[in-house]
Amino acid sequence: MVEQTLRYRNDEPVNDPAVTVATFADQSNATAVRIEPGEDARALLPHLDRLALVEVNFPTYGDGRGYSAARILREHGYAGELRAVGDVLIDQLSHMRRCGFDSFAPEQPIAAEAAEKAFATWPDVYQKTVDGRPAIWAKRHPA
């Protein structure tokens, strides 16, 4: 499992098993949690400082709720590992990265070179998100 994970962070991987959101609420020492599509990422906001890993599950690639979950966590300052798991495909990687994911555990392994190519698909971006890339409008109008 771990060897299939594409990871774009410099810190040590967290090896704690991710617990469900419901378990996490009751278990004050858990540091890793897994969010399912129907769950509210905002429930985790009071506990961001003790979280080291959040897994966001994509049971099917077409269920896009995880993109919002990821952005919400990052927008509120979550700095730990944010991992997309499940039906994570090459053609979605670049958008996921833009929404704040910095690690990927796809069911079907993706080669690291292919992932790099996917991240480089767009020379620029139209929107400001949470990935630190300047939007095109910001480049057009430097402060």
Q: Which residues bind other proteins (CB under 8 A)?
A: 37, 40, 61-65, 67-69, 71, 75, 89, 91-92, 94-96, 98-99, 121-129, 135-137, 139-141
User: Considering beta carbons, is residue 50 or 117 the nearer one to other proteins?
Assistant: 117
In the complex, least distance from residue 22 CB atom to other proteins, rounded to whole angstroms: 18
Choose among 30, 36, 37: nearest CA to 14: 30
Question: Both ends of the chain: CA-CA distance in Å?
Answer: 45
In the complex, least distance from residue 65 CB atom to other proteins, rounded to whole angstroms: 6
DSSP string covering 54-102, please?
A: EEEEESSTT-THHHHHHHHHHHTT--SEEEEEES--GGGHHHHHHTT--
In the complex, least distance from residue 19 CB atom to other proteins, rounded to whole angstroms: 22
User: Considering beta carbons, is residue 33 or 129 the nearer one to other proteins?
Assistant: 129
Whole-angstrom distance, CA of residue 109 vs CA of residue 60: 15
In the complex, least distance from residue 7 CB atom to other proteins, rounded to whole angstroms: 20
